[in-house]
Structure 1
Amino acid sequence: SGTFIHGNYWGADSVFGRSNISHGCIGLKDAQGGGDPARDGAWFYSQSLIGDVVIVKNSKDRTIAPDNGLNGWNMSWADWQAGSAAH
């Protein structure tokens, strides 16, 4: 559950910022495997921290509730690690 920001290597460059091609997430241009500093996905992850506020401009969607999904706002690191180890 939740709304997340993630890299997207499979979308054409022309769709980013122009088309709704997601099921609720925010996709950033990225290279397969990530880490390409020329792509928006790599830049975002090198410049942000868990808990940073993200504002999507010119969107007609409503503001997302802080408890939308399992993320840094509603799960401690220890709980997240315990849940990840179970999978």
Structure 2
Amino acid sequence: MNQRQPDPVDQVKVLLFASLREQAGWSDRCISLSRQRVFSAREIWDGLDLGELPRMVLVAINQTIVSPDHPVHAGDELAFLPPFTGG
């Protein structure tokens, strides 16, 4: 029996930057979403098993900063950005 591969539109691309990338050991991955339910960015973070979402981490969906409770839809790009230091 052939298993159906997730359709790219059923997925969200998750990006981690800087220290979050180092903590997780990966920089990007695609997560399959259920068509029956809408997930928030926080719920997707929780499913990554990276611990509690740090308060200072910014969340961006399709390169726009949003609240961690913002809904994520199939085809979106979801990024988690730790605080940056400049100089």
TM-score, structure 2 normalization: 0.25
More strand per residue = 2
Higher relative contact order, chain-length normalized (CA < 8 Å, sep 6+): 2
For normalisation by structure 1, the TM-score amounts to 0.25
